[in-house]
Chain A
Amino acid sequence: MSRNAQIEARVCALSGAPLNSWVALSDDETQLVAFGATYQDVADQLDRIGDQTSVILKTPPSWLPLAL
């Protein structure tokens, strides 16, 4: 998969994920693997499916530019 396709797939996966939640993306960051209200919800889902490689993110309350 090209870099641009990976970027598009990641953005598409995140756009479809619930806001202000915890999500897991596949190791190549192109697919939404799990989501939940808490970090532990997502970690537990990954444990159940035997996934050792996904990366966890917290989605912000909205997709506005971040200013922390």
Chain B
Amino acid sequence: MHAPYRPYPGRNGGVDFYPLIRVSAGKKRAGRTRPFEALVDSGASDCIFHEMVAAAIDIKLESGSREQRAGVGGTQDVWVHPIQLFVADQILEIEAAFAKELPIAGVLGRSGFFEHFRITFDPVSDPPGLDIERVHKI
């Protein structure tokens, strides 16, 4: 799958491009969210989503395993739940963290996302983009 970087409004009327892709989150027997954009972030240890994504699939946030995650903005509590992550035609069973404060809908990190794909970032092409290829480990 090839996905062009998605443009966001930038500083001083400019445009910033980010490796955002469409995903859905789901839970067995509880349906799935509509497609939403999440950031492909190799610096993130795992996949983190906004708490409203949890609510959309009937996950009671604080019933999950409570952990903490450290980011540029500091440390915050997260609650970890098993979910299904839908990426194009792939369905992944992952452990996802949910946070009450997140500036975007979701972040796709190493555990739960990068471990399943070979990902090539190409920020220098026009348009910039990323290629995502599923890797099935034996």
Contact = CB atoms under 8 A, between A and B. Distances in A.
Interface of B is mostly: mixed
Interface residues of B, number: 34
B105 A43 contact: no
Interface in A7-54: 7, 10-11, 14-15, 22, 24, 29, 38-40, 43, 46, 54
Given A7-B7, A10-B6, A67 B105 contact: no
Contacts of A10: 6-7
Nearest to A51: B34
A15 B48 CA distance: 25
Contacts of B55: 38-40
A11 B34 contact: no
Interface stretch (B8-16, B81-89, B112-120, B130-138): B8-16
Given A11-B7, A68-B44, A68-B72, A55 B35 contact: yes
Interface residues of A, number: 27
B6 A39 contact: no
Contacts of B127: 3, 7
A40 B56 CA distance: 7
Best-buried of B9, B10, B50, B104 by chain A (most CB within 10 Å): B9
Nearest to B102: A58
Nearest to A7: B7
B60 interface: no
Interface string B1-37: 0001011111100011010001000000000011111
A67 B43 CA distance: 10
A29 B41 CA distance: 22
A57 B103 CA distance: 10
Contacts of A14: 8-9
Interface of B: 4, 6-11, 15-16, 18, 22, 33-37, 39, 41, 43-44, 50, 52-53, 55-56, 71-73, 102-105, 107, 127
